[in-house]
Amino acid sequence: MSCPPPCLEILIKWYFGQRLPRWMMSATVVPLGSLRILMMCDLACCTALPNGLCKLPCLEILQINQAPAIKRVGHEFMCCSRSQQVAAMFPRLRELMFIGMVELEEWEWEERLHAMPILEILKLKRCKLRCVPPGLAFHARALNELRIYDVMHLSYLENFRSVVHLEVVRNIDLGTIRNLPKLQKLVIVKCPKMKVLEGVPALQRLELEDYNMETVPRYLQYVKPRSLLLNCSVSLLASIAAWKSSPEWDKFNHITKPRKWYVLYTREPFRFETNTSRSAIVQTYLVRSLRIW
């Protein structure tokens, strides 16, 4: 693939080459001054990301989708050379997505490396990343939305001081979320090892979903969201519905104005019920939720 014209704005989609083109792997400044959006999909055989993108002056959105052979995002991706850094890398990047990089285990970004100063949205999905790099939390001070789905070995998230919206979904090893002082909305779905939630004084809304959990997480005692939405099993909902006589009561009794409801629907024979009657709680097709305002 030859070097494209410098005026191109949306560059690559559905790239199937075994190796990335040389002009993308060059350590020199890539002559793509107007490039704003770059989507690289189905990099089936590539083992490294290009190292010529970090200096693009107008790059705003970068998506890497389905790159199963990449195990490491290294220093060479974040910075073209190890010589003394003058300007920030990825100076205009606002949205970054790593999706389907199923063997990715390491993302190297040291605190001394100034990069992505105006990054607003980061999405990580389906990888083996063990931790987010310290440079991300330290330098991405405009980051307000963080979505982490199916990241297999990630055990903690902490020190994201600007994040307002956080979603963690099906991260089986995640146990700790700590020190997100501006966090307002938190969604936790099927994170069975999640035990510690602290340092979130601005939290307004918490959504928790796990139909396999047997008890309400104890960390609910230590947070004070204005709104709590809990999707759980029928048996746990029945226990919660007992209120003060329930062993779960002390975990959320500090939240005011509790409300609970269910919706039960069957097509044949037709049946529709709402609110919490005992007969409905034990039905098979119950859609369960507890909301506390």
Q: How does residue 280 score in pLDDT terms, banded at 50, 70 and 90?
A: very low
Q: How does residue 12 score in pLDDT terms, banded at 50, 70 and 90?
A: low
pLDDT score for 198: 96
**Strand (E) or helix (H) holding 290:** strand 286-292
Give me 87's structure tokens: 């300007």
CA distance 180 to 243: 31
pLDDT score for 287: 47
Determine the average pLDDT of the residues in 64-76. 89
Instruction: Provide the whole-model pTM.
Output: 0.82
286 pLDDT higher than 50 = no
Determine the average pLDDT of the residues in 115-143. 93
Q: How does residue 168 score in pLDDT terms, banded at 50, 70 and 90?
A: very high
pLDDT score for 16: 61
pLDDT score for 6: 56
Q: How does residue 61 score in pLDDT terms, banded at 50, 70 and 90?
A: very high
Burial class for 10, CB neighbours closer than 10 Å (0-12, 13-18, 19+) = exposed
**Strand (E) or helix (H) holding 281:** helix 278-281
pLDDT tens per residue across span 218-276: 999 889 898 888 888 878 877 877 777 778 878 877 776 666 666 666 788 887 766 65
Give me 253's structure tokens: 């009794």
DSSP letter at 58 equals: S
What is the residue extent of each domain of the chain?
22-233
Say which residue the tokens 């080459």 belong to: 17
Q: Which of 26-30, 139-143, 195-199, 215-219 has the highest mean pLDDT?
A: 195-199
87 pLDDT higher than 80 = no
pLDDT score for 134: 84
CATH architecture classification, 22-233: Alpha-Beta Horseshoe (3.80)
99 pLDDT higher than 60 = yes
pLDDT score for 170: 98
CA distance 125 to 97: 8
CA distances from 60 to 12, 56, 121, 254 (A): 14, 9, 11, 43
209 pLDDT higher than 60 = yes
- Nearest alpha carbon to residue 192 among 213, 166, 176: 213
